[in-house]
Amino acid sequence: MCMSSESTLRTKKRKSDLREWIESALAAIAIALLLKFFVFEFVLVEGSSMNPTLNDGDRLIVTKPQYYFNDPTYKDVIIMHYSDDVEYVKRIVAVGGDTVEIKDSVLYVNKIAVEENYIDGSIVPDYPETTVPDGTYFVLGDNRDNSRDSRYADVGFVKADDIVGKVYFRIYPFEEIGRIE
């Protein structure tokens, strides 16, 4: 009789340990998902549209909470939804109500030339003066002659809901680790 109750206790202990392990794993998964969807996520840069600021293969931390309380602003480097399964990294150059124009490879916002020390200096086609609709953003890649951005109809003006978060920090390659401005 003693053997049977000892065996039963061991079985209950194993079930209790297994249940505890499963509950811990589910809690960890829930916390990780909450962090990914509401706080930050890791992103891999694919392509050269943001050269020289960001390069193909860079790994980034994207933060999300600041856009819960504040609107995205000029020069923010953001991750945005392009389609259901594709995200782009771009820089905000104008907000709703602004006019945007590119003439002789110079960006003008509200008829004022923007100093852009982050672009590669390539020659880009002119873009006609356009007014950015309220509630949207005009984004460009830093590598203007190799970027699919708001100048193209398939990207167009970016709605706030399509902005995933702000690129905050480069974590790889290690020799370039640091904040992204």
**Are 128 and 157 found together in one domain?**
yes
**Are 6 and 76 found together in one domain?**
no
What pLDDT, on a 0 to 100 scale, did the predictor assign at position 18?
74
Domain boundaries, position 15: 1-37
Band (15; pLDDT cuts 50, 70, 90): low
**Are 114 and 29 found together in one domain?**
no
Per-residue model confidence as pLDDT tens digits over 29-79 = 877 777 666 667 888 999 999 999 999 999 999 998 888 889 999 999 999
- Across the beta sheet with 127-131, what order do the strands follow? 112-113, 106-109, 99-103, 127-131
Per-residue model confidence as pLDDT tens digits over 114-159 = 999 999 888 899 999 999 999 999 999 999 999 999 999 999 999 9
**Are 157 and 117 found together in one domain?**
yes
Pair of tokens at residue 41? 């996520």
90 is catalytic: yes
**Are 84 and 141 found together in one domain?**
yes
CATH of the domain at 162: 2.10.109.10
- Listed in sequence order, the residues at least 6 apart from 34 whose beta carbon sits closer than 8 Å to its beta carbon are none
**Are 28 and 7 found together in one domain?**
yes
Structurally, the chain folds into a number of domains equal to 2
Could you tell me if residue 105 is left (phi over 0), alpha (psi between -120 and 50 degrees) or otherwise beta?
A: left
Compute the distance between CA of residue 150 and CA of residue 130 in angstroms, rounded to an integer: 11
Compute the distance between CA of residue 117 and CA of residue 101 in angstroms, rounded to an integer: 18
Please tell me which residue in 90, 147, 150, 166 is annotated as part of the active site: 90
Per-residue model confidence as pLDDT tens digits over 91-106 = 999 999 999 999 999 9
Q: How much of the chain is in helix, strand and coil states, percent to nearest 5?
A: 30, 35, 40
Compute the distance between CA of residue 164 and CA of residue 113 in angstroms, rounded to an integer: 28
**Are 90 and 135 found together in one domain?**
yes
Please give the distance of CA 101 from its chain centroid, rounded to a whole number: 25
Compute the distance between CA of residue 39 and CA of residue 115 in angstroms, rounded to an integer: 32
Compute the distance between CA of residue 144 and CA of residue 95 in angstroms, rounded to an integer: 19
Compute the distance between CA of residue 45 and CA of residue 178 in angstroms, rounded to an integer: 15
Band (1; pLDDT cuts 50, 70, 90): very low
49 is catalytic: yes
Contact (CB, 8 A) for 83 and 70: no
